[in-house]
A and B are shown apart, each in its own frame.
Chain A
Amino acid sequence: MQSIDLNSKLEGKRRRLQKGLEYACKSALGITALMMLTFFLALGYRGIGAFSQTQIEINVTSIESSTKSTINQSMYNLIKEPDRKTKKSLRQLVTPNAYSKIDITEVGTYVLVAHTDVDMYVKGVYNKLDEVQQVIVDNLIEQDKIYRTWNWDFWTNSDSRSPEIAGIWGAVVGTFYTIGIAILFAFPIGVSCAVHMEEFPQRKGKGWKRYRDFMEININNLAAVPSIVYGLLGLAVLINFFGMSRSISLVGAITLGILVLPVIVISARTALRTVPQHIRDASNGLGASRLQTTIYQVLPAALPGIITGTIIAIARAIGESAPLIMIGMVAFILTAPSTPMDPATTLPVQIFLWADSPERGFAEKTSAAILVLLVALVTLNLLAIWLRKRFEIKW
């Protein structure tokens, strides 16, 4: 009789295959991690600069007829007797929009936002300054008159033609309007659709079975339709047929609401299915109607799962941009929208617009906006995971 040594180790070909697969699997996961690390590091490295802003301190010694000429005059004072060309270089050190934000009526020291070229030079991204500007900027840095501070403009401003003062506030407000309205109607409709499919079994019979199968296929297919098709739906039905105006957040909200509806339905159905049958039987046995059972017993028990699914759906809607581009939410928005009927844009679309911009100063804004978006999405996802862990009911 052959005996087996239980302590013997695997040897030869079998061992090599065994180890080989393990290492292959490990390295696959490693490659995924590495790719994602490169991804985040590249974005972080590019975007971190946008959170600081370069500012110039100027001494105003004389008040001119307008704020613009006051600023220009005090810039000219940096050099003794500048000629025309030098004057132009000096003027271009501050952002072209400087005079619209600040009103100078008294002599004193003022802080202005530097031009994007100065900003990029200070941050060491690229150098497009001419010789005069470079000398002055170096000089001012030594005197501590050019310095970098926290970039509030990035958070409180809307889009702009000048990268140095462009911000995400308008896009954030647009996102809130769009996603808020989308969820406001997608959530009740989605949950009631799930309740209808799970809790109210239709009568027996071939026709009813076909109806249920059709609903099932319909929902699963809707969840898998490419998002751009929803954009075309919004364009053809809402804008072309119903004549709603382009670019407004209401149209975007309806389109995104339709887009996330199947996601909510599917997660709500899964949540309803985890509620065990004996809860329903007990409630029915006490004389509650099917509706009362559903509303007082099943829905509260399934609520954590439904909320988790909805948060994931919100995250999906926040990141969506293709359908919004189709319905014209790619407009250039200078001020934050104040009602859902105003032209608006959302954060991902703003990213798309900035990424397309030829102005190089926008590259860092794009990465920074992406970082903001990713932080928001990761927070939402972690919140969903935490909620699932915290409120999950083990039956």
Chain B
Amino acid sequence: MFIWIGPKQKSSGFNEDLIKGFFRISSWITIAITFAILASLSYETIKFFTLVEPRDFFFNTTWSPQTAFRADSVGSSGEFGFIPLIWGTMFITFLAMLIAGPIGLLSAIYTSEYLKPSQRQIVKPLLEVLAGIPTVVYGFFAAIVLGPWLREMGVTLGLDVATESALAAGVVMGMMIIPLISSITDDVIKAVPSAMRDGARGIGATREETIKNIILPAALPGIVAGFIMAIARAIGETMIVVMAAGLAANLTANPLEAVTTVTVQIVTLLIGDQEFDSAKTLSAFALAFTLFVITFILNWIAYRNYKNAINRLKQ
């Protein structure tokens, strides 16, 4: 018996197509998830904007979503000004980057340029493990340990520190993103071709001069991408700020006072029972949609930069 073998010959019956179909459908599921996120968030957001003017949402500086029970009482409509929330988010993110930026960068330089490969093999997994600590744990640390401690320190220094100060949340969020920044930066620095390093050392540059003049400029686009990713992560971070930052919307630049963030408000608005027709509940979806758009743009920029940087270095 002979079988004709050719390019069109199927090797094994119909289930080949079935399994391939399963692969294809699985990957379409991920696209469906993106569309589900977009659809559900924008649907509720549009419903929200029929109740509240978009102009009020984006430019008002007061946030007080509590709607009164009686329609004619004062403040019955609630005010949905987005500015203080995004300000609080940016402020805490800024404080976090102030701590995590330099420390993460310098640690990455140390692990990639100074450590021996054997030591690196120990330090790198340790940093990876740190990156895996749940944020609720950091939140507990900020709220129960660091917050009261900063407050006591403020009392001895004669400063008035709020228990839920922006500083405590910022510092702990910084601790959280140090492993993230150092791990990405380390990867980028490692991708710098060793020919560049050896060339610089060969003509007599010191280690410091090599790092400052050769390696960092070469790795800069990748490092910037890593920083943007870290910022996006900090903006979307929830548990630390829910536990350690305040609830009152506050337009202040004082790190010792309490501020609130977008994610804190989403959680406060949606915890407990909610009805899906009040502006209060729907505003959480509008906030989440804004958050989604901001992090999407940041990540997209970061991802493109990172990819270009790595590709250019690998050439």
- Seen from chain A, the residues whose Cβ lies within 8 Å of a Cβ on chain B are 10, 14-15, 17-18, 20-22, 24-29, 31-32, 35-36, 39, 42-43, 46, 188-190, 192-193, 195-197, 200, 214-215, 217-222, 224-230, 232-233, 235-237, 240-241, 258, 261-262, 265, 287-289, 291-292, 295, 312, 315-316, 318-322, 325-326, 330, 348-349, 351-352, 355-356, 363, 366-367, 370, 373-374, 377-378, 381-382, 385
Q: Is B284 an interface residue (CB 8 A)?
A: yes
Q: What's the least CB distance linking B310 to chain A, in Å?
A: 13
| A21 and B208 contact, Cβ closer than 8 Å, known pairs A224-B229, A288-B11 | yes
Which residues of chain B have C-beta atoms less than 8 A from A22's C-beta?
Answer: 114, 207-208
Can you give 15 A-B contacts (C-beta < 8 A)? A18-B207, A32-B178, A192-B26, A219-B30, A220-B303, A221-B299, A221-B300, A222-B30, A225-B37, A226-B291, A228-B267, A230-B37, A233-B37, A265-B30, A381-B125
In the complex, the answer to whether A377 meets B134 with C-beta atoms within 8 Å is yes
- Flag if B33 contacts A17 (CB, 8 Å): no
Residues in B neighbouring A224, C-beta threshold 8 A: 229, 232-233, 295-296, 299
Interface string of B143-161 (1 = CB under 8 A from A): 1110000000000000000
B1 within 8 A of A: no
List, in ascending order, chain B residues with CB within 8 A of A233's CB.
33, 36-37, 40-41
Which of A26, A241, A291 sits near B16, CB closer than 8 Å? A291
Cross-interface CB contact of A196 among B27, B110, B111, B267, cutoff 8 Å: B27
Q: Would A373 and B239 count as touching, CB distance under 8 A?
A: no
With the chains together, A220 CA to B300 CA distance in Å?
8
**Do A195 and B211 touch across chains, with their CB atoms under 8 A apart?**
no
A326 B291 Cβ-Cβ under 8 A: no
Residue positions of B touching A, CB distance < 8 A: 5, 10-12, 16, 19-20, 22-24, 26-27, 29-31, 33-34, 36-37, 40-41, 43-44, 102-107, 109-111, 113-114, 123, 125, 128-130, 132-137, 139-141, 143-145, 175, 178, 182, 206-209, 211-212, 229, 232-233, 235-239, 242-243, 263, 266-267, 270-271, 276, 284-285, 288, 291-292, 295-296, 299-300, 303
New contact pairs (19) apart from A43-B145, A224-B229, CB-CB < 8 Å: A10-B206, A18-B209, A25-B107, A27-B106, A35-B178, A200-B20, A214-B31, A221-B299, A224-B232, A226-B236, A229-B41, A230-B37, A232-B40, A232-B270, A236-B285, A292-B11, A318-B134, A322-B135, A322-B238
Min CB–CB distance B182 → chain A (angstroms): 8
Q: Is the CB of B175 within 8 A of A35?
A: yes
Chain B minimum-CB-distance residue to A228: B238
In the bound complex, what is the Cα–Cα distance between A188 and B105 (angstroms)? 37
Q: Main secondary structure on chain A at its contact with chain B?
A: helix
Contacts of B182 in A (CB 8 A): 32
Would you give the shortest CB distance from B126 to chain A, in whole angstroms?
Answer: 9
Cβ-defined contact, B208 with A20, below 8 A: yes
Tell me whether B129 and A381 are in contact (CB under 8 A).
Answer: yes
Contact B36 A237 (CB under 8 A): yes
Q: Name the residue of chain B whose CB is nearest to the CB of A292.
A: B11
Contacting residues, chain B, for A26 (C-beta < 8 A): 110, 114
Contact B299 A29 (CB under 8 A): no
Task: Indicate which residue in A18, A315, A356, A381 contacts B208 across the interface (CB closer than 8 Å).
Answer: A18
A319 lies within 8 A of B132 (CB): yes
Expressed in whole angstroms, the minimum distance between the Cβ of A340 and any Cβ of chain B is 21
A321 engages B267 (CB within 8 Å): no
Beta-carbon contact of B27 and A192 below 8 Å: yes
The answer to whether A322 touches B267, judged by C-beta atoms less than 8 angstroms apart, is yes
Which residues in A have their C-beta under 8 angstroms from that of B288? Answer: 228-229, 232
Q: Determine whether the beta carbon of B284 is less than 8 Å from that of A355.
A: no
| Contacts A17-B208, A291-B19 given; does A326 touch B267 at CB 8 Å | yes
Partner of B209, one of A14, A32, A261, A295: A14
Kindly state the separation between the CA atoms of A351 and B144 in the bound complex, as whole angstroms: 12
